[in-house]
Amino acid sequence: MRMKLALVAAVLVMVTGIAYAESDDPTGPQPKLPTEQLTIISDDGKSHIFNVEVAATTQQQDTGLMFRPVVPADSGMLFPWPQPQVSEMWMKNTIAPLDMVFIGADGTIKAIAENTVPYSLRDISSGVPVLATLELQAGITAAENINVGDKVIAKQFPGG
């Protein structure tokens, strides 16, 4: 009977494209997403260049960097939101600690959560409406002197 139900569910997904919530929970990393260059300009004028994957769909955003053991120092993942919103993130199934950079609609960094805890289900909030969240290798914002108020240059923001 269980096999028959699984088969019916699989056919429904193929026909309707609708999956059940329990099958939406990823069990491994998603394939590498399309990338784009993103630059952060610090107050001191230094440019920090990252090649970031863009999590454009809800499914890509739900999986994010889960199950990836490392995030290289020159890369990360950008989560663009359809309109400014308070960004609520977590570290479910995320192995590598991260720095989360919350970017306002004007392209400035509004908040940074440094060294987030792997696997934590604690909410990590931007606290203010933002247009995107950028996940980077843990410690990179401190090491590179990236701070609130710095400017982000990417096609999602003015001047990008």
Residue 128 predicted with pLDDT over 60: yes
Average pLDDT, rounded, for the chain: 88
Q: Are 97 and 44 in contact (CB under 8 A)?
A: no
pLDDT recorded at residue 117: 98
Mean pLDDT of 14-19: 42
Q: Which two tokens stand for residue 145?
A: 């002197």
Residue 134 predicted with pLDDT over 90: yes
C-alpha span between 3 and 48 (Å, rounded): 52
Q: Is 152 helix (H, G, I), strand (E, B) or coil?
A: strand
pLDDT recorded at residue 159: 78
The residue assigned the tokens 């933002």 is 130
CATH node for 27-153: 2.60.120.1140
Mean pLDDT of 62-67: 96
C-alpha span between 104 and 126 (Å, rounded): 10
Q: Is 123 helix (H, G, I), strand (E, B) or coil?
A: coil
The share of the chain scoring above pLDDT 70, in percent, equals: 85
pLDDT recorded at residue 24: 65
Element (H, E) at 63: helix 58-63
